[in-house]
């Protein structure tokens, strides 16, 4: 349990696949309201099966950690499953599963979310449980106790997600270089030594500062009316008093432009296939929605799959690459990275691969896109919103993460129309803003162990 | 015609070609709609399933779901990669790779471009016993989308360009798998337990290089035959609308296949000590595998319920409570029953830092000994039943999940009323059954342990009986349990549940 979204530990979170709700069915719409204590509520109707997805999003994430306390947002999310005034040690999960519920939670740089999926008759019980741990969590301070053993669990989680995987180790190094003075420079799960030093008091401080109803969003998707959700939410969450203090200041901040271009290499005996990447700072949906949509389309045309410019040129025509793609983590709150990546065919050096890759990019930057390829891309991005409707949990997640970083229900609803307005000129202008000649970047090489020494003797970077 | 005009120059001819059979399909739809199709409707607790046979002889299970204008279509053939000819391992994978890489007048790029224009998805894959194709489409242009599928299934090109790309990708995969812990564990397990069975055969550079597109074309006809085909669909579509589209795509396939059957696996005796496979990484992956019962065995449901308490129930399982919550030795440990026509296994796995590998194995073994000696409690049994029955409706909340669920029921021959009977079968499990199963199946000596990493402190290890040759798919530790705890959505994901 207790996953965390490490801002794209997996390449799958690159931007091209992002999907939003469909507006083609005029009658379908979310309902929103606010409880007296400041909790925002969104209800997403889906009457196909008698089940609901219940999510509580907290407006806190790894960006909000104090110096030296990396990993507390995520470790604390684990601790939320431990014990409350009314729920015995380790019983939270027992109660949910005994009621036929599936549950989990995840932490990102920008937010933390908890969810249960249950038969709709169990919804109120789930609300009671989440309301209970919003206010009455018990953090055990026994130095041999569950808080301490949970640190060990998180250290195993870090080994499993990051330290076992050379490509993820390299990504961690790149993010540190790309976001020098910004909290995205530390991976969500935290630094091993800092996680190992977190204390129950750190957990308590974090809880008291951030876990309050005014800093939450409730999403209920499924077979239930907005009126019933309001009744149940007022009976449970509505009983929690909001803290009378001003909401704490989020850790979000401007991302400084890269001062210089830099090469980072990582070699490991487990690497059997090299990888070439360039990381640029770009934008995000929150920072500049219009720019981000145009970039979304541009990167899809440039490197979003089999029909993309890069795949056709490097994999199909020149056969110089085994894979080639481009994408961006545009759903981050602050300025997000755009990532160019490719993996060479046997016998091709990363230098030759880079030259061929950038030739495609430079051709696009100089000559632009065709209207046809842009239209195809924006249509498929817009249509993905219809498919998104098939997953109740996916819909809940989409609205939750949009609202948690300051977006609105309308932003989600308007996505298909907004993306369809992107022109070829918009797309190329966005790409030029990110990949222009004057932009610095982090270049990353993932290498088999024996190849690093050879590369170091050949390059001055 | 707007969309056809959008096709790039090279695709123009192809797009026009595609338009001709489309008119035919619409004509047939009219005819069938007027003559009607004999539909048997099963009003189930979780879905209303319409069973019918198309005029072309295709047997279909359909759930009509009008609330979203999409359709999920699943096709499966009961032939998989285990019957690839000796020395041509990878042949079935080549077929499935190439199924959306060009058909009729459309080459790979033209085909992919047209699929994008239609906002549809179509792809195929295979496991050792079954080959699958699945498609997702907007019902607004389902006729055009189904026309693409018809073209792919009936006139696949198997061009050299995408075929050679397949070979290049496979050769890289054959190299990179050597540092993939899950692969290494599966290969070692197959070598230990069933070295001579086809399930243990593995793709090699030689077998990939031996393939030709002619072999691929022949193999496609052998796999995708009418007598081994199952179809399920969920979406905004009626039987009358769907039947002619399916006939266009599937009725022209070869009627029968002469691919030979597979023998049941006769498992070797379990190894008496763990096998260690070296891999330089900070954690060790520990997997453990024992024989299990068939899906249609009376003991299956008691075992399924027991598995929840043993290692399948996430935080409610004994293994998780002890090795994660109590001891902090792992991020996750899971077990699951894996059943198929020829092989039934009880498997489990988890990862721990190399320094604690011996403690981890000792902890797992201790939990097995305890559950064998004392069984589980009434409370544990009732908790397991409550979860397994209470969460079952969550398996029916999307078109994609329902289409796949129907396909499982068809492939495993569970019956159209299985979904309605299933919770009662869970409820009928008794404590006596469960504890008898525990004592019989969960003896530590039944299990073969494989450790991949740089484990420390394991005093006695076993060697594999023969050099490493074979592989069957072993799931990553995180995927081992039955899928019903995991939400099949990448939006709310956790590889460990």
Q: Which region among A134-148, A427-441, B99-113, B206-220 has the lowest average model confidence (pLDDT)?
A: A134-148
Question: Of A336, A334, A333, nearest to A402 (Cα)?
Answer: A333
3-class DSSP state for residue B30? Answer: helix
What integer is the mean pLDDT of A430-449? 96
pLDDT tens digits, A368-383: 999 999 999 999 999 9
- Output the CA angle A209-A212-A213, nearest 5 degrees: 160
Which residues in chain B touch residue A12, judged by CB atoms under 8 angstroms apart?
490
* Chain B residues touching residue A106 (CB < 8 angstroms): 492-494
* Partner B, chain A 156-175, Cβ-Cβ below 8 Å: 156-157, 159-160, 163-164
- Residue A240 scores a pLDDT above 90: yes
Per residue in B8-41, pLDDT (tens digit) is 323 333 333 333 333 333 333 334 444 578 999 9
Helices (H), B177-282: 181-193, 205-209, 213-223, 239-250
pLDDT at residue A205 is higher than 80: yes
The pTM is what? 0.90
Contact B351 A163 (CB under 8 A): no
- For residue A39 the two structure tokens come to 């909790």
Min Cα separation A443/chain B (Å): 23
Q: What is the DSSP letter of B324?
A: I
Cα–Cα distance for residue pair A444/A447, rounded to 1 Å: 10
pLDDT value, residue A456: 55
Mean pLDDT of B423-436: 98
B248-305 pLDDT, tens per residue? 999 999 999 999 999 999 999 999 999 999 999 999 999 999 999 999 999 999 999 9
Lowest mean pLDDT among A323-332, B209-218, B244-253, B462-471: B462-471
Query: What's the rounded Cα separation, in Å, for the pair B408 and B128?
Result: 15
Give me the residue from B119, B352, B398 closest to A390, CB to CB.
Answer: B398
Name which residue leads in pLDDT, B224 or B467. B224
How many whole angstroms separate alpha carbon B317 and alpha carbon B329? 15
Test A312 with B109 for CB contact under 8 angstroms.
yes
List the one residue out of A113, A117, A122, A92 whose CA is nearest residue A103: A117
Contacts of B119 in chain A (CB under 8 A): 379-380, 383-384, 386
pLDDT at A143: 87
Question: Nearest residue of A to residue B453 by CA position?
Answer: A164
Residues A85 and A135: beta-carbon distance below 8 Å: no
Nearest CB neighbour to A386, from listed B70, B171, B493: B70
- Identify the band that residue A27 occupies on the pLDDT scale cut at 50, 70 and 90: confident
Residue A447 has pLDDT above 50, yes or no: yes
Indicate the pLDDT class of residue A145, thresholds 50, 70 and 90: confident
The per-residue pLDDT for range A2-13, each reduced to its tens digit, is 443 333 332 222
pLDDT, tens only, B306-334: 999 999 999 999 999 999 999 999 999 99
Residues B116, A376: C-beta atoms closer than 8 Å: yes
Facing A97 at nearest CB: one of B46, B316, B494? B316
Out of A49, A51, A163, the one facing B282 most closely (by C-beta) is A163
List Cβ neighbours of A432 (8 Å cut-off, separation of 6 or more). A365
Task: Output the average pLDDT for chain B.
Answer: 88
Probe site for chain B from A1, A346, A404 (most B CB atoms < 10 A): A1
User: Please, which pLDDT band fits residue A453 given cuts at 50, 70 and 90?
Assistant: low
Residue A193's contacts (CB-CB under 8 Å, 6 or more residues apart) are none
Residues of chain A contacting B281 with CB distance shorter than 8 Å: 163-164, 270
Q: Give Cβ neighbours of residue B68 (< 8 Å, ≥ 6 apart).
A: A25, A386, A389, A390, B235, B236, B399
> How confident is the model over A104-117, as pLDDT tens digits?
999 999 999 999 99
DSSP A246-308: PPPPPS--PPPPPSS-EEEEEEETT--S-EEEEEEE---TTT-HHHHHHHHHHHHHHHSSTTS
pLDDT tens string A73-105 = 999 999 999 999 999 999 999 999 999 999 999
Q: Is A262:A439 a contact under the CB 8 Å cutoff?
A: no
Residue to mutate among B351, B377, B394, B423, with most A CBs inside 10 A, is: B394
**Dihedral Cα A347, A350, A355, A356, nearest 10 deg:** 50
| A144 or A350: which leads in pLDDT | A350
CA distance B116 to B144: 12
pLDDT recorded at residue A451: 60
Cα A55 vs. chain centroid, distance in angstroms?
16
> CA nearest B289: which of B128, B477, B470, B497?
B477
Residue B269, min C-alpha distance to chain A (Å): 31
Q: What is the pLDDT of residue B479?
A: 32
Q: Who wins on pLDDT, B21 or A153?
A: A153
The whole-number pLDDT of residue B129 equals 95
pLDDT score, position B20:
33
Which candidate in A25, A27, A34, A77 is catalytic?
A: A77
Q: What's the token pair of residue A299?
A: 């990167």
Q: Measured at the alpha carbon of residue A404, what is the angle toward residues A67 and A302, in degrees to the nearest 5?
A: 95
> What's the average model confidence in pLDDT over A167-191?
97
Q: Flag if B394 and A46 touch (Cβ within 8 Å).
A: no
The b/e string for A282-315 (b: 16+ C-beta within 10 A; e otherwise) is bbbbbbbbebbbbbbbbbbbbbbbbbbbbbbbbb
Q: Is A393 close to B116, i.e. CB distance below 8 A?
A: no
Residues of B in contact with A98 (CB under 8 A): 383, 386-387, 390
Q: Long-range contacts made by residues A179-184, C-beta under 8 angstroms, separation at least 24?
A: A179/A255, A180/A256, A181/A256, A182/A253, A182/A255, A182/A256, A182/A334, A183/A62, A183/A63, A183/A64, A183/A65, A183/A109, A183/A251, A183/A253, A184/A7, A184/A63, A184/A109, A184/A255, A184/A332, A184/A334
Please give the residue of chain A at the shortest CA–CA distance from B497. Answer: A1
* A461 catalytic per annotation: no
* Three-state secondary-structure class, residue B107: coil
Restricting to A residues 195-254, those with a Cβ less than 8 Å away from any Cβ of B are 222
Tell me what pLDDT residue A454 has. 60
Overall average pLDDT of the A16-26 stretch: 39
pLDDT at B371 over 50: yes
Q: What pLDDT score does A71 carry?
A: 98
Closest CB from B112, B386, B393 relative to A306: B112
């Amino acid at each position: 349990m207790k996953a965390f979204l490490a801002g794209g530990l997996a390449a799958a979170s690159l931007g091209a696949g992002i999907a939003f709700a469909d507006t083609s069915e005029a009658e379908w719409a979310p309902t929103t309201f606010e409880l007296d204590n400041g909790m925002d509520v969104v209800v997403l109707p889906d009457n196909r099966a008698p089940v609901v997805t219940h999510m509580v999003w907290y407006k806190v994430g790894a960006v909000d950690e104090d110096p030296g306390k990396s990993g507390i947002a995520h470790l604390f999310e684990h601790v939320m499953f431990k014990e409350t005034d009314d729920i015995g040690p380790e019983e939270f999960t027992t109660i949910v599963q005994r009621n036929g519920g599936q549950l989990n939670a995840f932490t990102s740089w920008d937010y933390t979310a908890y969810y249960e999926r249950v038969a709709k008759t169990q919804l109120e019980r789930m609300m009671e449980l989440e309301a209970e741990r919003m206010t009455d969590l018990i953090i055990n301070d026994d130095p041999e106790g569950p808080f301490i053993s949970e640190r060990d669990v998180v250290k195993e989680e870090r080994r499993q997600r990051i330290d076992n995987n050379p490509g993820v180790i390299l990504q961690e190094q790149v993010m540190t270089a790309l976001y020098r003075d910004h909290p995205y420079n530390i991976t969500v799960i935290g630094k091993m030594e800092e996680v190992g030093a977190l204390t129950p008091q750190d957990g308590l401080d974090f809880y008291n500062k951030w876990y309050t109803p005014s800093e939450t969003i409730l999403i209920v998707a499924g077979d239930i009316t907005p009126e019933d959700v309001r009744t149940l939410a007022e009976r449970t969450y509505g009983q929690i008093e909001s803290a009378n203090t001003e909401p704490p200041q989020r850790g979000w901040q401007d991302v400084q432009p890269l001062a210089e271009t830099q090469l980072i290499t990582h070699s490991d005996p487990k690497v059997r296939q090299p990888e070439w990447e360039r990381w640029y700072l770009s934008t995000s949906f929150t920072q500049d929605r219009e720019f981000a949509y145009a970039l979304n389309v541009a990167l899809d045309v440039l490197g979003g799959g089999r029909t993309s410019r890069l795949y056709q040129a490097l994999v199909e025509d020149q056969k110089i690459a085994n894979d080639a793609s481009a994408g961006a983590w545009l759903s981050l709150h602050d300025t997000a990275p755009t990532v160019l990546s490719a993996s060479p065919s046997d016998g091709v050096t990363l230098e030759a691969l880079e030259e061929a890759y950038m030739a495609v990019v430079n051709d696009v930057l100089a000559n632009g896109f065709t209207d046809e390829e842009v239209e195809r891309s924006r249509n498929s991005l817009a249509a993905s919103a219809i498919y998104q409707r098939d997953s109740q949990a996916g819909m809940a997640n989409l609205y939750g993460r949009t609202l948690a970083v300051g977006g609105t229900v309308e932003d989600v609803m308007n996505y298909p129309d907004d993306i369809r307005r992107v022109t070829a000129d918009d797309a190329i202008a966005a790409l030029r803003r990110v990949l222009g000649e004057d932009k610095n970047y982090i270049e990353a090489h993932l290498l088999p162990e024996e190849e690093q020494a050879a590369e170091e003797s050949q390059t001055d970077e | 015609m707007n969309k056809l005009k959008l096709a790039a120059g090279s695709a123009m001819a192809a797009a026009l070609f595609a338009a001709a059979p489309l008119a035919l399909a619409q004509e047939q739809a009219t005819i069938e709609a007027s003559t009607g199709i004999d539909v048997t409707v099963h009003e189930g607790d979780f879905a209303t399933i319409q069973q019918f046979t198309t005029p072309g002889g295709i047997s279909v299970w359909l759930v009509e779901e009008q609330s979203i204008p999409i359709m999920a279509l699943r096709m499966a053939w009961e032939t998989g990669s285990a019957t690839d000819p000796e020395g041509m391992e990878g042949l079935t994978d080549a077929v499935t790779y190439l199924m959306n890489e060009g058909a009729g007048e459309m080459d790979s790029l033209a085909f992919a471009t047209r699929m994008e224009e239609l906002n549809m998805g179509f792809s195929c894959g295979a496991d050792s016993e079954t080959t699958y194709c699945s498609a997702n489409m907007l019902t607004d242009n389902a006729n055009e989308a189904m026309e693409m599928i018809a073209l792919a299934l009936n006139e696949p090109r198997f061009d050299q360009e995408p075929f050679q790309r397949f070979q290049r990708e496979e050769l890289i995969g054959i190299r990179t798998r050597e540092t993939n812990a899950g692969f290494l564990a599966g290969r070692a397990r197959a070598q230990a337990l069933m070295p001579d069975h086809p399930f243990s055969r593995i793709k090699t550079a030689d077998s990939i290089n031996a393939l030709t597109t002619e072999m691929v074309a022949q193999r496609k006809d052998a796999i995708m035959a009418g007598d081994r085909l199952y179809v399920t669909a969920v979406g905004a579509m009626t039987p009358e609308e769907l039947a002619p589209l399916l006939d266009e795509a599937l009725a022209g396939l070869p009627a029968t296949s002469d691919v030979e059957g597979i023998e049941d696996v006769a498992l070797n005796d379990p190894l008496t000590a763990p096998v260690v496979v070296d891999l330089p990484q900070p954690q060790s992956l520990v997997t453990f595998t024992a024989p299990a019962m068939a899906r249609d065995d009376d003991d299956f449901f008691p075992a399924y319920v027991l598995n929840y308490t043993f290692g399948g129930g996430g935080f409610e399982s004994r293994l998780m409570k002890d090795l994660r919550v109590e001891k902090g030795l792992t991020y996750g440990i899971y077990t699951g029953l894996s059943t198929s026509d020829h092989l039934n296994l009880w498997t489990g796995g988890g990862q721990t830092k190399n320094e604690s590998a011996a403690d981890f194995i000792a902890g797992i073994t201790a939990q097995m000994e305890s559950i064998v000696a004392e069984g589980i409690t009434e409370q544990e049994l009732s908790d397991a039943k409550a979860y397994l029955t209470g969460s079952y409706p969550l398996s029916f909340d999307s078109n994609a999940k329902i289409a796949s669920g129907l396909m499982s029921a068809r492939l495993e021959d569970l019956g159209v009323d299985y979904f309605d009977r299933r919770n009662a079968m869970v409820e009928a499990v008794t404590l006596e059954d469960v504890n008898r199963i525990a004592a019989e199946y969960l003896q530590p000596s039944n299990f073969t342990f494989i450790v991949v990493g740089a484990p420390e402190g394991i005093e006695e290890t076993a060697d594999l009986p023969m050099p490493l040759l074979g592989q069957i798919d072993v799931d990553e530790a995180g995927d081992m349990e039955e899928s019903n705890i995991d939400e099949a959505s990448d939006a709310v994901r956790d590889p460990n549940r």
